[in-house]
């Protein structure tokens, strides 16, 4: 099957959905990463550094730098730039190395 501009113009996207970020709803579209949805919502930082508690967000946007780490559904150290947004996902700001409760 060939793609043509005329076919693409008639495309109908699937409906959007929401996920939770630090207890607040964030709108997302099918196919977006969590980082893209957070950017779209005006949130630029979603991780705090171990030393200095400095804010971090997406830097490289392709999974190489690890600045965009989040906690996703209770799992720390998930790269938001690679993780697809899902309806109902529970996303939290990651603090430090994501294992602070183990200390």
Q: Is residue 82 assigned to a domain? A: yes
Of 26 and 59, the structure prediction assigns the larger pLDDT to: 26
The whole model's pTM is what? 0.80
pLDDT single digits (tens) 37-68: 999 999 988 888 888 888 888 888 888 888 88
Mean pLDDT of the chain: 86
CATH code of residue 23: 3.10.20.440
- Map residue 29 onto helix, strand or coil: coil
Number of structural domains the chain divides into: 1
Q: How far apart are CA 47 and CA 45, in angstroms?
A: 6
Torsion over CA of 83, 88, 90 and 93, rounded to 10 degrees?
70
The parent domain of residue 26 ranges over: 16-96
């Amino acid at each position: 099957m060939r793609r043509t501009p005329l076919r693409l113009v008639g495309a109908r996207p699937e409906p959007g959905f929401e996920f939770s970020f630090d207890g607040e709803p964030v709108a997302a579209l099918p196919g977006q990463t969590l980082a893209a949805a957070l950017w779209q919502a005006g949130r630029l930082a979603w991780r705090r550094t171990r030393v200095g508690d400095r804010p971090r967000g997406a830097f490289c946007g392709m999974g190489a730098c690890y600045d965009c780490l989040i906690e996703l559904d209770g799992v720390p150290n998930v790269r938001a730039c690679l993780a697809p947004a899902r309806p109902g996902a529970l996303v939290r700001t990651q603090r430090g190395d994501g294992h602070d409760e183990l200390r």
